[in-house]
Amino acid sequence: MDMPRNDVRPVELDVFSTPKHLEHASEQARARNYQDFLIVDVDSHHYENEHYAEVFEYIESPVIRNEAKEGAGRRVGWLNSQVGYQNTGGRIHRQKFRGKEKAKPGKHADIMLTLDWMDAMGVDYCCMFPTPMLFLGLHPQVEVEAAMCDAYNAWLCERILANEPRIVSMLYLPFNDPEAAYKTVKKFGDKKGVVGFMVTSPRYRPVHDNAYMKTYALLEEMGKPISFHAAYSWDDRSLQMTNRFISVHALGFMWFNMIHMTNWVINGLPVRFPKLKVMWIESGLTWAASLMQRLDHSFMMRTSDAPLLREKPSHYMKQMFYSTQPMEIPEDKSVMESTFKMINAETQLVWSSDYPHWDFDLPSTIYDLPFLNETSKRNILGANAARLFGLDLKPVKRIP
């Protein structure tokens, strides 16, 4: 018989430990038997800026490398950034105190810190993405995006992916330089842990530009997915009209992906590259269901604007992949169930946490949905991504 426990502890805000911070997530993982099946997180992050000293050493051009090293930490930065207050005035305290946490000895600090939160949540594999570099597509110097992207990818492959099989990545594509994007796929496509390539969505280059066709063809030939990772830009002319972070974030994370998706479908890229796998990351789910209806409606009246399409736009959108986070959970779950049906969630939806960012989701956001059966839950939480990335279905996590 269990004896009653009566532990009492103080709350120490300025002491940060990932396993402690996520203790309730580990309880969820044990209660839901996550150890019995695979969970893949297709969108998580680290703070690459904490390792810029290492990353800059990988910049090939000695001139740009020097500019990077000399420009770092200056009043005016070498890399662009964004206005924002993601930590909600200090309310998300891991963003304030995580710097106090010491990584366990062993591998690179970002590997050890990542494995800590993965195990705490019950995650077997994660796809690691950068954080400040999500805004790099807005850098005014195309050659800086290309140089920084090449250096980061090389650093990530050598220091992280080569040394930890549970961490994979879709590497950053320097999309503002189409030739560099092509070379990036050629150079890194076969590296260990590279499961695809990622375009940061805030930027002003249309995806249907002819300059990208050889990159899409190469990705299709290699069987590697291309993904579009959302973010916001408070410099965007429309979004400049918003005055609170909630507004620019809610709209911005859908806005750029809605534009790229519309261009992708209307210009017939799914017809031109029928085997290319496409994934949309961190826009939630409601935008896709809404856009399907919108484009289908217009298409029936204006087929001459999209003559390559043999089916309605939604037909092609249903064949793409969608990451879950930040998953809108309405009070009326039937609305959500319809969204799942529209995007073919059973095979096309892939769970993501976005940890450690402010609006991360746990696996329970999927596992606890009342309208999913156990097979559907396991597909969305891991099996769909395993098929897409070529991962083993055997769980490897160590839930504390």
Partner 1 sequence: MAEWFVAKASELKDGDRRVVTAGKREIGVFHKDGAYYAYSNVCLHQGGPACEGMITQNVVDVIDKNRQYQGQVYGDETHFVCPWHGYEYDLKTGECIGDRKQKLRKYEIVKRGDDIYVVA
In this structure, what are the phi and psi dihedrals at residue 270, rounded to the nearest 5 degrees? -65, -25
Choose one: 8-16, 64-72, 163-171, 281-289; the region binding partner 1 (CB under 8 A).
Answer: 8-16
User: Alpha-carbon distance 200 to 103, whole Å?
Assistant: 28
User: Does residue 349 bind partner 1 (CB under 8 A)?
Assistant: no
C-beta of residue 28 within 8 angstroms of C-beta of residue 353: no
Site for partner 1 in 111-170 (CB under 8 A): none
Which CB atom, from 6 or from 210, has the smaller least distance to partner 1? 6
Q: And the tokens for 82?
A: 């964004």
User: Does residue 360 bind partner 1 (CB under 8 A)?
Assistant: yes
Binding residue for partner 1, selected from 21, 45, 166, 260, defined by CB under 8 A: 21
Instruction: Round to the nearest angstrom and report the end-to-end CA distance of the chain.
Output: 23
Choose one: 22-30, 183-191, 310-318, 384-392; the region binding partner 1 (CB under 8 A).
Answer: 22-30
Which CB atom, from 260 or from 357, has the smaller least distance to partner 1? 357
Find the Cα–Cα–Cα–Cα dihedral 380, 383, 385, 387, rounded to 10°. Answer: -140
| Beta carbon of residue 281, minimum distance to partner 1 (angstroms, whole number) | 19
Binding residue for partner 1, selected from 18, 25, 52, 224, defined by CB under 8 A: 25
Binding residue for partner 1, selected from 75, 91, 237, 394, defined by CB under 8 A: 91
User: What are the CA-CA distances from residue 185 to residues 150, 261, 312, 314 (Å)?
Assistant: 11, 21, 31, 29
What order do you get walking across the sheet with 167-172 strand by strand? 40-45, 125-129, 167-172, 194-200, 226-229, 278-281, 321-323, 349-350
Binding residue count for partner 1, defined by CB under 8 A:
29
Which CB atom, from 32 or from 315, has the smaller least distance to partner 1? 32
Q: Kindly give, in sequence order, each residue whose CB lies less than 8 Å from that of residue 289, ignoring residues fewer than 6 positions away.
A: 338, 339, 342, 343
User: Alpha-carbon distance 98 to 311, whole Å?
Assistant: 49
Which CB atom, from 137 or from 284, has the smaller least distance to partner 1? 284
Q: Kindly give, in sequence order, each residue whose CB lies less than 8 Å from that of residue 117, ignoring residues fewer than 6 positions away.
A: 18, 22, 123, 355, 356
User: Alpha-carbon distance 353 to 122, whole Å?
Assistant: 11
Which CB atom, from 14 or from 374, has the smaller least distance to partner 1? 14
Which CB atom, from 13 or from 211, has the smaller least distance to partner 1? 13
User: Does residue 332 bind partner 1 (CB under 8 A)?
Assistant: no
Q: Kindly give, in sequence order, each residue whose CB lies less than 8 Å from that of residue 287, ignoring residues fewer than 6 positions away.
A: 254, 257, 258
User: Does residue 359 bind partner 1 (CB under 8 A)?
Assistant: yes
Binding residue for partner 1, selected from 14, 75, 76, 89, defined by CB under 8 A: 89
Which CB atom, from 93 or from 191, has the smaller least distance to partner 1? 93
User: Does residue 5 bind partner 1 (CB under 8 A)?
Assistant: yes
Which CB atom, from 7 or from 36, has the smaller least distance to partner 1? 7
Binding residue for partner 1, selected from 32, 93, 98, 318, defined by CB under 8 A: 93
If one counts every other C-beta atom within 10 angstroms of the C-beta of residue 364, the result is 17
User: Does residue 33 bind partner 1 (CB under 8 A)?
Assistant: no
User: Does residue 28 bind partner 1 (CB under 8 A)?
Assistant: yes
Side chain identity at residue 218, one-letter code: L
Choose one: 62-70, 84-92, 248-256, 335-343; the region binding partner 1 (CB under 8 A).
Answer: 84-92
| Beta carbon of residue 352, minimum distance to partner 1 (angstroms, whole number) | 14
C-beta of residue 160 within 8 angstroms of C-beta of residue 110: yes
Q: Kindly give, in sequence order, each residue whose CB lies less than 8 Å from that of residue 334, ignoring residues fewer than 6 positions away.
A: none
| Beta carbon of residue 96, minimum distance to partner 1 (angstroms, whole number) | 9
Q: What is the 3-state secondary structure (H, E, C) of 180-193?
A: HHHHHHHHHCCCCC
User: Does residue 90 bind partner 1 (CB under 8 A)?
Assistant: yes
- CA within 13 Å, CB half, 346: 9
| Beta carbon of residue 9, minimum distance to partner 1 (angstroms, whole number) | 5
| Beta carbon of residue 310, minimum distance to partner 1 (angstroms, whole number) | 42
User: Does residue 88 bind partner 1 (CB under 8 A)?
Assistant: yes
User: Alpha-carbon distance 278 to 348, whole Å?
Assistant: 10
**Under the rule (CB under 8 A), what is the footprint of partner 1?**
4-11, 13, 21, 23-25, 27-28, 88-94, 358-362, 364-365
